[in-house]
Amino acid sequence: MKRSIIITGGAGFIGSHVVRLFVNKYPDYEIICLDKLTYAGNLANLADVEKQANYRFVRMDICDYEGVSRLMKEARVDGIIHLAAESHVDRSIKDPFTFARTNVMGTLALLQAAKEYWESLPEKYEGKRFYHISTDEVYGALEMNRPEGIKPPYATAASSTQHHLAYGDQFFHEDTPYRPHSPYSASKASSDHFVRAYHDTYGMPTIVTNCSNNYGPYQFPEKLIPLFINNIRHRKPLPVYGKGENIRDWLYVEDHARAIDTIFHKGRVAETYNIGGFNEWKNIDIIKVLINTVDRLLGRAEGEDLGLITYVTDRPGHDARYAIDSSKLQRELGWEPSLQFEEGIEKTVRWYLEHQEWLDNITSGEYEKYYESMYAGR
């Protein structure tokens, strides 16, 4: 079946993995990678597919309603996988307006362009799909009422053999009410509501997914795992917010891309699916795993760089615990994560150490100024 699909944010971290998967798996599809190429977008992420016949890159801002409208008509687009977003909580605290513009108004521009084009066709919405990828942060925060860790009520192939604990007895479900706390999560919650509204009001075939923290290759090093791999490599301080006890659920990015593929093709219209790794970890415990892994792979003594841990003032409104239940996706569509966290971390660390030129190019120039502004004096 011939399809024409726009993947927004396709040169970013998660987006590049989705683009790569679709380009390689579906040679009959035209895959349009749409990206503004802001700080986190990098065409080097897609160097291995850029010459494929079914791949096309378009540099465009998702807020450009007229541009998106022209592209949809010219390419006869019948599917949108929407990943483009401003996504760093710290940045949203400093500049909430940019997050509202991109995450809310950008999503609205895409929705309206899709609505007007698809409704102009004889078949209307038949065979069309608008798939919006969101975050578990829209749900707010869960209580860490079992800080010692308990056996969780689920296990998958990705569950750690050495560290499979839950730090509370509540989890995010698809029907968990939204309670966003940061400007970032508030902007994503608003965009989620707009997507659902376009289904309820106009009948657009939409799907929303909420995912947990991703990790893996090609992640911009403002996020914890690539930032700390790079800092350990250079023996720079590792800035840990508060006591490092905040808990997140971790998902290997290639598993997320597989889930997006499954949901785009098999998910039910107007449904919400949670995508999680079934892997709760305290930040400080992840950092210790990273230090041991990087030290070992660099030929250092494991734990040699534990002294790099530097506790800094916690950020405002730092949510204590995220824990996502993705059993609906597992039950209905047969997806589950494939890698245990320790396996994923090993692959991730090896990738960054083997791609030092990519990392060095990313972490030069403006990145250094950003890094200093985020952590200086904390």
Q: DSSP assignment, residue 29? A: E
Catalytic residue among 29, 65, 184, 273: 184
* Nearest of 236, 185, 182 to residue 371 by alpha carbon: 236
Q: How far apart are CA 9 and CA 83, in angstroms?
A: 5
Cβ atoms 257, 217 nearer than 8 A:
no
With tokens 């349009």, the residue in question is 32
Q: Is 314 a catalytic residue?
A: no
Under 8 Å CB-to-CB from 247, ≥6 apart: which residues?
A: 144, 167, 280, 281, 282, 283, 320, 321, 322, 323
Provide the strand spans (E) within the chain. Answer: 3-8, 29-35, 55-59, 79-82, 129-135, 206-211, 213-215, 238-241, 247-252, 272-275, 280-282, 309-312
Give the integer Cα–Cα distance in Å for 346 and 367.
Answer: 25
Radius of gyration for the alpha carbons in the chain, expressed in angstroms and rounded: 20
Alpha helices, H only, 275-365 = 283-297, 327-333, 341-354, 356-362
Q: Which of 136, 192, 254, 280 is catalytic?
A: 136
Evaluate whether 8 touches 84 at the Cβ level (below 8 Å): yes
215 is catalytic: no
Instruction: Tell me the C-alpha distance between 355 and 364, whole Å.
Output: 15
Is residue 282 classed as helix, strand or coil in its secondary structure? strand
Catalytic residue chosen out of the listed positions 137, 222, 295, 319: 137
Q: How far apart are CA 312 and CA 324, in angstroms?
A: 27
Judge whether 285 counts as a catalytic residue.
Answer: no
Please list the active-site residues: 136-137, 184
